[in-house]
Structure 1
């Protein structure tokens, strides 16, 4: 071979090598970037060429693909009861997705490696590719009851319910809500314009308040302080007596921590049960200071705080707050100061007490099936933490039942069912009326459901610590009745 042919051969080989490198670079390195490029029209049409799988809850279809007459867009997404399940299903827009539509996208559109066998069979039989179906853990009766009851309050807020023994999420409601259908169309102009409107809205309808927002937990957090206090000394119990001054001097300051409205808590010395029933601030502030920051923070971590959780959507981080002085610790111990919790975290606390001290990892996806109904994957409940001993959980259960029967949460009572709970009123930093909280589980002797309710600025025009009991507890009652009674 002469030198000229050699040079031509080398040049050809170099060009083939460069071509192969470029192809692999585009397909592997830049694939995601190019697929997201709005100018990639072919990819845009292909997004609607596959029949995405259904999302179901309790046998009810809450998201599905329906065939159209359009030659460009073969399938579009449809959401029965769209507003009711919006923060569960999410939306499937021309260039993005949210909630389950996003977290389970590769299963829903059929591209997951878990569906390789199904795709191979379909290729052999000539059937079109279909996505997998996602069954969520939501109980439709609980979801509807939570949505209706919270909507009747006329306020922003959230309700989340968990099955204590498994961690399955039974209800996930955030208000205000939105219609995912408006964000799942094929007209980019209309979809993007509507998304901008919702994203800029002051009341944040796109925000899933159950997992995406933290709040001061107020007096609902007192069950955590009580848990730490009982764990610190196993001889303590519901009848243990503690100091309950009308005002608790805060070290290093010239102010005192009062009970709500400056009221007295008993005669100055009360049982732990009475302190929780009446939600007295001073004994809990004193407990927190006596225990110290490390023991209080450790107890919060045992309930799951500080652990990154996905349900599968990511959950905002709850936080007891950094270590400061004794005065700050007293305030954090009654659910104020830097103490910030998601409604999911507070539901997990209730569920952990209900489940004899064990907190289960919360989850929203129950089962994945292929287009023929064959199971691909199924939920396997998993323990997250051991929050308290079984003995301590029993003591807390007894006291929380008394809160509902004799204390601030009497409006949460369900005929024929023993309900455990704790009310809360949380001051806000923006000068708005306090938030109203309630956490609960029932039946107390064999819990089937644990939940947390928050009504933003829901304590207005009611007064007293019982505002959580007046505003949030009735919402919880509606959910409990939907799950536990026929």
Structure 2
């Protein structure tokens, strides 16, 4: 009886060992499969992807003639006779961008649209050749002054360092003296007390210069870097670094805080800043190729969106978002671009958050608009930069409105957020 029991026990032990070995083999197999799957879906910032795309993208001209639209929502680039790159671009928005720029015929214009939650580039359009660095695509060159778009960075730094409170009253003084130099407000800014919200909405230079001085050079430089200035932006095509040269000298700090000085920015970067506010303070890594497929359409590589950095807290982003809404829907600088003279909104079905910027540099007068919509569930973040000579052809805010209209008209069924002002 005991011998039989021992034999049975040996059989049980043997079965357990086989099951254990079998389980280990299964786990090993699953790990290999998962690893293989990951290998085929790795992020597009790896060297192998860049090696594949480099010959095709370095000379890429982003025009409707170069990219082939294969469906209503898909644009591809033939890499060779075996592989195709599928872009994130929305054909209708890309087309609208070209048509709007051709309509206004401004000497220089650039437009970038991004999906805030993923970093997918929905459109990249540029017009003109009057820009500083032709080694980069017009939308990826940082040869343009950031102007008052940098006030978003200044505001974020001041809020998170506790230099100001959202409810605080600032002072619009008309002009602010720093040594033997002055920073002046534009004529639309009344002198006197001004809320932080209105200071951003009306782009009050003296108020922002003063809070930048109170903050100091080191924190301002820190937040410039957090928002991507003075650092590389990871992207499939070369992107010129957006530079923010801020000296410790008081005038440099004050001027930089107000958006003057040596601060330049690419349109792609401008769209990313808006997308960061829209995405609760998280900056997603931008990308324009969502997958590479073989000639049968099977995915060889797929992009996985990832967070590049988180410059600010979600609570800070929410505060700035509410202030940016007033730039468009309150008494801010973008109001006239989004409302007619009778006070009727051009886009009554959506609410937009934005920030304007304007600055003359050399022989061009630059205007910016960066923003996102709908504010309650952002689907698109945009940056529009327009350069005019003395004869103005277009302003960035108006172009931004028309581009947003083109986007939402094509996606009207997805919009459930209505403007109630």
TM-score, length basis structure 1: 0.64
**What residue number does 2:270 align with?**
346
C-alpha deviation, 1:461, in angstroms: 5.0
Aligned counterparts, 1:58-457, within 5 A = 83-84=63-64, 108-109=79-80, 130-155=81-106, 156-176=108-128, 208-233=137-162, 236-237=165-166, 239-250=167-178, 253-261=179-187, 265-406=189-330, 407-410=332-335, 411-412=337-338, 414-428=347-361, 430=362, 432-457=363-388
C-alpha deviation, 1:434, in angstroms: 1.8
Q: What is the alpha-carbon distance in structure 2 between the residues aligned to residue 209 and residue 450 of structure 1?
A: 18
Q: What is the alpha-carbon distance in structure 2 between the residues aligned to residue 273 and residue 157 of structure 1?
A: 29
Is residue 290–residue 302 contact of structure 2 (8 Å, CA) maintained in 1?
A: yes
RMSD: 2.8
C-alpha deviation, 1:307, in angstroms: 3.0
Q: What is the alpha-carbon distance in structure 2 between the residues aligned to residue 202 and residue 172 of structure 1?
A: 16
Is residue 214–residue 343 contact of structure 1 (8 Å, CA) maintained in 2?
A: no
**What residue number does 2:399 align with?**
475
Deviations 1:204-236 (A, max 9, x none): 988521102331111122111111111112971
Q: What SS does the corresponding residue of 1:373 show, helix, strand or coil?
A: coil
Is residue 62–residue 125 contact of structure 2 (8 Å, CA) maintained in 1?
A: no
Q: What is the alpha-carbon distance in structure 1 between the residues aligned to residue 120 and residue 93 of structure 2?
A: 13
List runs of 5+ in structure 2 lacking aligned partners. 1-52, 69-75, 339-345, 413-421
List runs of 5+ in structure 1 lacking aligned partners. 1-54, 56-62, 64-78, 90-99, 102-106, 110-129, 178-200
C-alpha deviation, 1:323, in angstroms: 2.0
Higher strand share: 2
Structure 1 segments of 4 or more deviating over 4 A? 201-207
TM-score, length basis structure 2: 0.74
CA spacing shift, 1:267–1:308, aligned 2, 3 Å: closer
Q: What is the alpha-carbon distance in structure 2 between the residues aligned to residue 209 and residue 381 of structure 1?
A: 24
C-alpha deviation, 1:484, in angstroms: 2.0
Higher relative contact order (CA 8 A, sep 6+): 2
Q: What SS does the corresponding residue of 1:366 show, helix, strand or coil?
A: strand
